[in-house]
Amino acid sequence: MKRIIIYMFLLFVIAFQLMSCYKDVILPDVAVDPDGPPQPVSFSAELKPMFTSQCALSGCHSVGNHKPYLTQDIAWAEIVNGGFVNTLVPKQSTLYIMINGPMKEYIPNASDRQKVYDWIRNGAPNN
């Protein structure tokens, strides 16, 4: 009986160790040629949710705080009509400069920042 209890205990310890061995895989940002052809980007499907979750829900860019207001219903109008994008020289866009400078910590993923850049290069459509 004592031997069975010891074997059960060892089996439990080994099973617990095997289940707790988990390796978190963090993939680096994929290097993208920022000046390559712009990829199609949907403002409503890709950028609006990102701006809302990263910028507006924190309270920083919600209505009544810092412009542009990036809530779901008015984000595109605020960005485009507020003069935050320059479709002729996208790298001079205030939005592009801010997300690659002082606001980079709120959009830390390089591929998300590239989507914003591609969206501006595509003419900042409300799609």
How confident is the chain (127 residues) per 10-residue block, as mean pLDDT?
84 74 60 81 95 86 89 93 95 95 89 94 96
Predicted pLDDT at 77: 95
Would you state the structure tokens that stand for residue 77, as one six-digit string?
């109008």
Q: Are 52 and 75 in contact (CB under 8 A)?
A: yes
Q: Are 48 and 72 in contact (CB under 8 A)?
A: yes
Residue 7 lies in a domain: no
Predicted pLDDT at 68: 94
- Provide the domain count of the chain: 1
Residue 28 lies in a domain: no
Residue 56 lies in a domain: yes
Predicted pLDDT at 65: 87
Residue 126 lies in a domain: no
Can you give the residue range of the structural domain that contains 61?
43-121
Q: What is the pTM of this model?
A: 0.74
Predicted pLDDT at 27: 61
Predicted pLDDT at 33: 75
Would you state the structure tokens that stand for residue 52, as one six-digit string?
């809302």
Backbone angles phi, psi at 30, to 5 degrees: -75, 130
Whole-number Å distance between alpha carbons of 95 and 123: 14
